[in-house]
A = this chain, B = another copy of it.
């Protein structure tokens, strides 16, 4: 029975199976070793995520083998509180508390599971003005890169306090020349390049904890190990 990796988060998780998406890339990478389970909820912040936590993992049990859970919130929490996406805003202190509660829930159910907190990505403000989710007549973007950076720092702080892994996507993506359009499709969501970065960072975070294609058991004999002269030998005792 393969262990699972749950992907829990907002639209950047929900959309992670579009072409070149980081979720699909994880399934492809771990295709004979792990089951990847999508639990992405567009538009959600940590306040709403916390409200639905029991329901999100209702089908799972303590006996389930859960290798890891990615927790990827903050892009909505960091919406500016008096602009057009204010209804998604969560104050930064509450954001931290909510992340703490989510980690506690996951660690309570699966004590040995790797929890990986992923920070919000950077924001390209001029592009956000062209792509609002709700009507925006203010001339001001509903998200700012500075706010996203503050929530990213808060996310890393929670990870350190809880002793779990973290991916600082906000900093990592801004290392890419022209990250505004190279990594982001609408100033917020990810291009294929942006998705590739998340995929590689998750693989790396798992590797640091000892989980990789080199260490994970493979589900059933692989074709390269099957003897062409006696294929059924590989299936004895299965």
Q: For chain A residues 22-39, which have a beta carbon within 8 Å of chain B?
A: 23-25, 27-28, 31-32, 35, 37-38
CB <8 Å contact, A19 and B17:
no
Q: A228-B87, A235-B51 are in contact. Are A14 and B32 (CB under 8 A)?
A: yes
Contact partners of A231 in chain B: CB under 8 A = 48, 87-88
Q: How far is the CB of A41 from chain B (nearest CB, A)?
A: 6
Residues of chain B contacted by A238 (CB below 8 angstroms): 51-52, 54-55
Q: Are B235 and A42 in contact (CB under 8 A)?
A: no
Chain A residues with a Cβ under 8 A of chain B: 1-2, 14-15, 17-21, 23-25, 27-28, 31-32, 35, 37-38, 40-44, 47-48, 51-52, 54-56, 58-59, 87-88, 133-134, 220, 222-223, 226, 228-229, 231-232, 235, 238
Instruction: Give 9 A-B contacts (CB < 8 Å), ordered by A residue.
Output: A15-B31, A17-B27, A24-B24, A31-B40, A35-B38, A42-B223, A44-B223, A88-B231, A134-B228
